[in-house]
Amino acid sequence: MVLKSSSSSSTAIVVTDVSIKNDIATSILHMHIANCPVIKMLHHIAFVISTEAKLFAIRCSINQAYIKENISKIIVVTDFIHVAKKIFDSLSLL
């Protein structure tokens, strides 16, 4: 799916990860949109637990891809599936 979508200019592929050290979470995301250079972004947040940091990273990734022009599909690649499920479970409550 990622390889097929990587040539589409309306799809953003975002790879995200989080690390926590000394109560500071660092979120690193790399975003690929066809015919554009890869974008690397760093975000820092203090005094959070691991789950909150991971939710923050996913939400930042989606927000950064959403503000790009003409994006209709966002693929988020992450290794924290249990946290991603929390996002979509909370959306079903709305």
List the pLDDT tens digit at each of the 94 positions of the chain. 666 666 777 888 888 888 888 888 888 888 888 888 888 988 888 888 877 788 888 888 888 888 888 888 888 887 766 666 665 665 555 4
Whether the Cβ atoms of residue 77 and residue 65 lie closer than 8 Å to each other: no
Token pair in block for residue 28: 């690193």
> What residue ranges define each of the domains in the chain, with the CATH number in brackets?
2-92 (3.30.420.10)
* Cβ(9)–Cβ(72) below 8 Å: no
Does this model's pTM top 0.75? My answer is no
* Spatial separation of the C-alpha atoms in residues 13 and 62, rounded to whole Å: 10
